[in-house]
Amino acid sequence: MAFPPKSRGFLYWTLLNKHLLPALSNQHNTGESDPETNMYQQPQFHWAEEPFTLPMGVGRLGLSEPVECQNYVMYHGTSRANIVSILRYGFFQSKRGLLGSGVYLSRDLKKASYYPNGHPDNDKVVFRVLVEVGRVITIDNKDHPRRKTWQDPRYGPVFDTAWIPPGCGLVREVDCVWDPNRITILDIIHPQPVPFGYGVIYGYGYPPGYTG
């Protein structure tokens, strides 16, 4: 499902101009706000995506198991520093993780926005992607015999995607895709600044000393 070279090049420049270049020149989006308007607290952000039309034959996953060989919208959180590399070269497999090697994704935008751990929201982006899941294996406990070998033919049948369902006690929900070429970038989602005074809506409260 990867873009052919010409399409990938077009996508690279389109998304680069749409997302990265404006952000570099926009202090408000990077959290470098005027200290006089931000004297009480650091900027707060929330994550939301604009409505969009699903491509033909593509679905969204709720809590259900992915259907083999179907296409789904998923999300991948990363730092702003990785935008150019991912747009130019695509995704690379993580070598470590709960499910072993692969590209880690989630069907949940909020969960994807937690990554990378330890980075402030204004240093993160979330890639919205289309995934052709191929053959899927469900990993629902930490002692599953194929938890880290699902993509290795030495241990049995080979799978393209490993899925941890929500509520099984491992993590909230994870999809791990072995081959990055099964992933097509659709767009990039940036955190949106919460206007001062509206923070309570998103659970951030009010500045110290505020009495209403």
User: What are the sequence ranges of the domains in the chain?
Assistant: 5-31+42-49+58-202
What pLDDT score does 51 carry? 73
Q: Which amino acid is at 94?
A: S
173: nearest Cα among 98, 69, 71: 98
CB 161 within 8 A of CB 178: yes
What pLDDT score does 14 carry? 64
What pLDDT score does 38 carry? 41
What pLDDT score does 10 carry? 57
* Residue range 80-104, pLDDT digits in tens: 999 999 999 999 999 889 999 999 9
Query: In the chain, which residue ranges form alpha helices assigned H by DSSP?
Result: 5-15, 21-24, 27-30, 83-89, 109-112
Q: How many helices, marked H, and strands, marked E, lie in the chain?
A: 5, 10
Q: Is the dihedral of CA 113, 132, 93, 16 positive or negative?
A: negative
What pLDDT score does 204 carry? 43
What pLDDT score does 35 carry? 38
What pLDDT score does 72 carry? 92
User: Hey, how many other C-beta atoms are within 10 angstroms of the C-beta on 115?
Assistant: 17
Q: Which amino acid is at 17?
A: N
CB 110 within 8 A of CB 166: no
Which residues, in sequence order, are CB contacts of 143 under 8 Å at separation 6+? none
CATH class of 5-31+42-49+58-202: alpha beta
Residues of the chain predicted below pLDDT 70:
1-43, 56, 59, 61-63, 196-212
DSSP one-letter code for 38: S
What pLDDT score does 44 carry? 80
What pLDDT score does 203 carry? 46
Q: Is the dihedral of CA 145, 150, 153, 159 positive or negative?
A: positive
Looking at the DSSP assignment, which residues form a beta bridge with residue 37? Answer: none
Q: Which amino acid is at 66?
A: P
